[in-house]
Amino acid sequence: MTTDFTATKALFDLPAGVIYLDGNSLGPLPRAVAPRVEAAIRTEWGAMLITAWNKAGWMDLPERLGNRIGRLIGAEPGTVTLGDTLSIKVFQALDAALQLRPERRVILSDSGNFPTDLYMAQGLTGLLGRGYQLRTVAPEDVEAAIDETVAVTMLTEVDYRTGRKHDMAALTAKAHAAGALAFWDLAHSAGAVPVDLAGAGADFAAGCTYKYLNSGPGGPAFIYVAPRHADQVQPVLSGWLGHDAPFAFEPGYRPAPGTARMRVGTPPVLQLAALDAALDVWDGVSMAEIRACSIALTSRFIAAVEANCPDLTLVTPRDPQARGSQVSFAHAQGYAIMQALIARGVIGDFRAPDILRFGVTPLYIGETEIDRAADILTEVMATRAWDRPEFHARAKVT
């Protein structure tokens, strides 16, 4: 093994006494982020003022960091750029795919997809009219539903609730065989499981950076466009930084070459500075070893919880190859149970209607944390410690 997980854990600023199993929702703070952001504020913004766009290379951050993320998701150099939110990038990718299949009218997704993806598809099809529609089927029925009416498949590789993992290569191949394009949401994949966009032949992909990539709350999203499409799409959100010459201030839009045309607004420099520092954690880290460790830890957690908590129902696939880097259990009182766990220093999260969700990130979680989390969950369930009024009171964010 070439990845030293003891060393990577030391790179994070984790609160004492906390077992953090929610990096699949918001990654913890890497120690290098605060100094890097402070430098961006004081040394760059403070001392250089507006000249930092050139002197500090601010304008190049979306592509430079896109290449750093590209290494983790199997993307060709120059095919990933950053900025805006994942919802915006989903909208852009879907519209671009529909442009490339003008004779077709169907976006195919599954009922387990993250709601924002479905919402953006609904909004886009409503905007376009002319018979465009979003078609959703059960996750296990996606392959059979891909036919000659489908313009693009819109799938999240790892299901946010259950952790179920789609077979990217197989479903992309099926889409292409039917004449459709394949768009993949990597929100729960990038930094969690090995991804090979180029090898799988994906057409478009997008993802957020604040989960497994640890860029901080509201961190910018990324978008991938396969090289064969990059110079063909006409961005529906034709922002000035996707222009071929932004500072020519031409009245008409000319798209930049390649994936850079998918840039929209001004780069969020401070958030990109945080991401830049967070990506340093990945230097020298093997995604294959991340995956092997993740499988071992998730399997260990499943075995311990099932042995001691019979009232919890596993909803994550038991086959490790069919799941991402999370474990989910169902219980009618899932929200209260999770609040009781958080009060005891085990931080996971809850997803409606009844899912307790635990993200497993080998960069800072090992067997010791997994075993202790399982023990605390066992105690909460055995004593019904969750059945207190304060644990039933719903907060705005679950």
Strands 80-82 and 19-20: unpaired
Q: What pLDDT is recorded for position 398?
A: 87
Please return the burial class of 129, using the count of CB atoms within 10 Å of its CB with bins 0-12, 13-18 and 19+.
exposed
Catalytic annotation present for 222: no
In the set 36, 104, 174, 211, the catalytic residue is: 211
Q: Which of 183, 210, 224, 329 is catalytic?
A: 210
Phi, psi (5° rounding) for residue 118?
A: -65, -40
Read off the amino acid at residue 144: A
**In this structure, what are the phi and psi dihedrals at residue 40, rounded to the nearest 5 degrees?**
-65, -35
pLDDT reported for residue 59: 97
Give the pLDDT of residue 1. Answer: 62
Single out the catalytic residue among 22, 185, 276, 354.
185
357 is catalytic: yes
| Cβ(292)–Cβ(179) below 8 Å | no
Instruction: Give the DSSP H/E element, type plus range, for residue 172.
Output: helix 168-177
Among the listed residues 174, 261, 263, 357, the single catalytic one is: 357
Beta-carbon contacts of 168 under 8 Å, excluding residues fewer than 6 positions away, are 157, 184, 195, 196, 200, 202
Per annotation, catalytic residue among 20, 114, 329, 350: 114
User: What number of CA atoms fall less than 13 Å from residue 133's CA on the CB side?
Assistant: 5
Amino acid at the residue 352: A
The two tokens of residue 137 are 């089927």
User: What is the per-residue DSSP string for 353-375?
Assistant: TTEEEEE--TTT--HHHHHHHHH
Examine the residue annotation and report whether 210 is marked as an active-site residue of this protein: yes
190-228: per-residue pLDDT in tens? 999 999 999 999 999 999 999 999 999 999 999 999 999
Q: Look-up: residue for tokens 């077992």? A: 19
Residues of the chain with pLDDT under 50: none
pLDDT tens string 26-82: 999 999 999 999 999 999 999 999 999 999 999 999 999 999 999 999 999 999 999
Paired tokens of 166: 């789609």
Closest to 298 (Cα-Cα) out of 330, 327, 332: 327
pTM of the entire structure?
A: 0.96
Handedness of CA 217, 272, 195, 9 (dihedral sign): negative
The answer to whether 185 is a known catalytic residue is yes
Buried b (16+ CB within 10 A) or exposed e, 270-296: ebbbbbbbbbebbeebebebbbebbbb
DSSP secondary structure of 47-105: HHGGGHHHHT-GGGHHHHHHHHHHHHHTPPTT-EEE-S-HHHHHHHHHHHHHHH-TT--
Would you call 339 helix, strand, or coil by DSSP?
Answer: helix
